[in-house]
Amino acid sequence: MQIVDHRLKPGWYKASPHHGGALEAPSLLVMHFTVSGAGAKGVADYFVSPTANASAHVVVGRDGDVRQVVPFNVKAWHAGRSVWRGRPNCNDYAIGIEIDNWGRLMRTADGQVRSSTSRILDPALAVEMTHKNETRPCLWEVYGETQMSALVAVTRAILAAYPTITEIVGHDDISPGRKSDPGPAFPMGRFVSLVG
Ligand SMILES: [Zn+2]
């Protein structure tokens, strides 16, 4: 996988109408989860729809499917109110990747594991961990290896094409308290070492 003319190749691309102006010399990569089971195409279709009012550059599905909706030289609307190392509005200098994942899960009284939208999930997908910005453990959806492999490939391509990027952070680093993605189930340390 490589980036040609600010798009992943080979790759699926559809333009989202929800974006800002030129993104020049991005310095940050921001990881998100979608809170969804829609798959990369479902999430990408949402970002392309007229009412979304949000976007990211790329969406990575659980099955490794990769969809791009904003070119990497254009600002996407993924971070919202945010600050990193004293610099506000991370959308102005960050590339954003959405990872399809339910995030926080619930266990019901009868032992079922459910998403925040009450979808019943395989209990094997849930891991109990404490978010670094919180004090109590809760359940989170595990990130599978197929998805992680695709994410590593996409990220390596991005870092190769945009050497101005010097840091990889979570949305929960740039909007702490307001956002909890990609959450404690995301293996940030292993991911950063894999992408070099
Ligand atoms: Zn996010």
- Pick the closest to residue 47 from 22, 81, 18, 21 (CA basis): 18
The 10s digit of each residue's pLDDT in 115-162 is: 999 999 999 999 999 999 999 999 999 999 999 999 999 999 999 999
CA–centroid distance, residue 47 to ligand 1 (Å): 13
- Segment 11-16 mean pLDDT: 96
CA–centroid distance, residue 178 to ligand 1 (Å): 10
* Rounded Cα distance, 41 and 134, in Å: 32
- Segment 5-22 mean pLDDT: 97
Tally helices (H) and strands (E) across the chain. 4, 17
- Pick the closest to residue 99 from 145, 66, 133, 132 (CA basis): 66
Structure token pair of residue 48 = 């392309």
Query: Which residues are found with C-beta within 5 Å of the ion, ligand 1?
Result: 32, 171, 181
pLDDT band at 196 (very low <50, low <70, confident <90, very high): confident
CA–centroid distance, residue 110 to ligand 1 (Å): 31
CA–centroid distance, residue 32 to ligand 1 (Å): 4
Tell me whether residue 135 is exposed, middle or buried, using C-beta atoms within 10 angstroms of its C-beta: 0 to 12, 13 to 18, 19 or more. Answer: exposed
Domains and CATH numbers, the chain: 2-101+145-195 (3.40.80.10)
Residue numbers annotated as active site: 98
